Each structure stands twice: as C-alpha cells, then as structure tokens.
C-alpha cells in the first residue's frame, strides 16, 4: 500500500505541536455585509470543539471560511502550524487532504454507490490500486458501522446511515482533523446519540481532532471538550470554554440563557448562517 499517498503533510512547523488549528483575526463577509470580525481561537490536537450560537450568528459561515470554501476578508487559518489561508497552490492542495468534512446532508452523490462515494477521495488524491482502495473503503465503512452496505445507493439509506456514509468518506484519507456541519440535523434522538458515540469512538481510536457546528445541547454536553460561542450582534466570540462551566457560571447572560435553553437566543437555534 502506498502509505506516502495517505499522509502528505510533513511534521508541523509550529513549535507548539499540540495545536491542530489556529484561527487568528478572521473576518468573514459576503460582499459588504460583515458576518464575523476579529475571530481568534485555537483547537488542540485530539480535542472535540463545538462552534455554537443562535440563528444568524455565523457558525456555518465560520466553518466554510476555515475549510477554504470562502476566502476570509482578513485573518489567517493554520493547520498544524502551516498557513492555509495564504498557502501556495501546492501546499493548499496538500493541506486540504489533511482534514475531512461531513456536511449537514451527508452530500453523497446519488448516482454512486456507498462504495463509490467513499472511494472517490482515494481515486482523486492517491496512487492506490483498485484493490487497495476497496480495502480502505471496507475498513472505513466498518469503522462507522456500515459494513455490508457497500453496494447500496444513498436513496436506499436512512438519514443516519447517510451521515455515517458521509463520515466514512470524510475519513477516507486518514485526516488528522474532521469538521462536522450540524451532524444531528434531521436525526431522531436515538440516532443522534449513536452519532455522538461514533464521534467519541473516532477520537479515541484515531486521535482525530473534531470541530462540530451545532446548537444541539444534548450533544454539546455529552461529547464537547470545549465550545466557542458566536454572537450575531457583536459579530464575534462571546464565550470560550467548558460548556458545563459556562452554563453554570458564565458572567454573560446570553451564554447562560443559550446553554440553559432560556430566552429568545435558544429559540432561534438554526438558520441560514447558523
């Protein structure tokens, strides 16, 4: 198996090797409308971080800028100490392969089987043979509890199974970081709980750094090591820490209300830029 093809990123240049992600002074805007400004935070290697906040606060906007779908108006995103925002074309491509993304809907290609969906990153970004790719696909599907579903099509899967298949694809290149955009959206409580348990399993077995955009309090209190909370009015971060501590003792009433399901802030959870 071509191991080099699966691990394209050399050791981090940053003197602090414990930091998987560094966001510094990020400004996110759509045209003249500024959604976020002066956003700075870090994520430690192996940490499960939730990005939380009410409707329209910029949660998904921040995620899209962090993973390169939109270029920030200002600021920098670094992965393992390497500048992603201002990287050369070659290093940008390599850094893309260092993380995986599970989109809200799963984003599976409907005309492709589960096997073909999961194998797609391997076909595009590695020199592996077909047999080697199939071995990895089988391994990733087993990791997410979908062994035996290789030949199913997305339309034949439940909502939770689509999320698992999307996660298997996100893990195909053995990324050190996985981003999740509202993973519990559209799932029943039991399936959402199972997905939370899967996230924990992936972190524990693979050492993966996890960043999750969500307003699902059950998941936040079950698996988050830390949260950063965004606010639409201030267009930035108003809280950063252990959600259990923030829920009980934050000096900001907006933070306490959100984490205790009180007031308008919580009722708004979700939305276009959530």
pLDDT tens figures, 73-85: 999 999 999 999 9
The pLDDT assigned to 107 comes to: 79
Sequence spans of domains, the chain: 107-174
- The DSSP string of 212-271 is EE---HHHHHHH-SEEEEEETTTTEEEEEE-HHHHHHH-S-HHHHHHHTT-HHHHHT---
Distance CA 173, CA 184 (A): 23
Burial 47-68 (b: 16+ CB within 10 A, else e): bbbbbbbbbbbbbbbbbbbbbb
pLDDT of residue 191: 86
- What would the mean pLDDT of 246-259 be, rounded to a whole number? 94
- Provide the percentage of residues in the chain whose pLDDT is more than 90: 66
Among candidate residues 201, 271, 216, 256, the one with its CA nearest the CA of residue 51: 216
Q: pLDDT tier at 103 (50, 70, 90 boundaries)?
A: confident
pLDDT of residue 185: 81
pLDDT of 271 reads: 37
Whether 269 shows a pLDDT value over 70: the answer reads no
Instruction: Count other C-beta atoms under 10 Å from residue 4's C-beta.
Output: 9
Reply yes or no on whether the pLDDT at 222 is more than 90. yes
Task: Give Dmax over CA atoms of the chain in angstroms.
Answer: 57
Is pLDDT at 133 greater than 80 in this prediction?
yes
What pTM value is reported for the model?
0.85
Main-chain dihedrals φ then ψ at residue 67, nearest 5 degrees: -95, 5
Give the pLDDT confidence score for residue 263 in this predicted structure: 53
* Average pLDDT estimate for 162-185: 91
Predicted pLDDT at 110: 87
pLDDT of the residue at 64: 94
Work out the pLDDT band at 272, boundaries 50, 70, 90: very low
The predicted model gives 19-35 an average pLDDT of 94
> Could you tell me which residue, 16 or 228, shows the higher pLDDT?
228
Closest CA relative to residue 183, chosen from 48, 70, 79 = 48
Q: Which residue has the tokens 């990895």?
A: 136
Confidence band of 59 (pLDDT split at 50, 70, 90): very high
């Amino acid at each position: 198996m071509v191991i080099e093809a699966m691990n394209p990123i050399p050791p981090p240049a940053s003197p602090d090797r414990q930091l998987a992600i560094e966001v510094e002074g990020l400004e996110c805007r759509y045209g003249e409308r500024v959604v976020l400004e002066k956003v700075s935070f870090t994520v430690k290697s192996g940490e499960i971080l939730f990005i939380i906040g009410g409707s329209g606060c910029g949660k998904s906007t921040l995620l899209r800028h962090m993973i390169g779908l939109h270029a920030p108006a200002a600021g920098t995103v670094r992965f393992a100490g390497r500048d992603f925002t201002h990287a050369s074309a070659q290093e940008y491509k390599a850094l893309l392969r260092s993380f995986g993304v599970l989109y809200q809907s799963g984003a599976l290609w409907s005309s492709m089987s589960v096997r073909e969906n999961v194998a797609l990153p391997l076909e595009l970004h590695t020199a592996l043979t077909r047999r080697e790719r199939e071995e990895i696909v089988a391994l990733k599907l087993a990791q997410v509890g979908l062994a035996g579903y290789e030949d199913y099509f997305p339309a034949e899967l439940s909502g939770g199974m689509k999320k698992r298949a999307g996660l298997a694809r996100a893990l195909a290149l053995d990324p050190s970081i996985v981003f999740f955009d509202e993973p519990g959206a559209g799932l029943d409580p039991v399936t959402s709980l199972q997905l939370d348990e899967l996230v924990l399993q992936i972190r524990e077995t693979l050492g993966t750094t996890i960043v999750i955009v969500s307003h699902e309090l059950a998941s936040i209190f079950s698996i988050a090591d830390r949260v950063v909370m965004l606010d639409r009015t201030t267009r930035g971060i108003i809280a950063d820490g252990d959600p259990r501590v923030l829920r009980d003792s934050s000096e900001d009433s907006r933070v306490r209300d959100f984490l205790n399901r009180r007031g308008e802030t919580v009722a708004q959870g979700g939305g276009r830029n959530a």
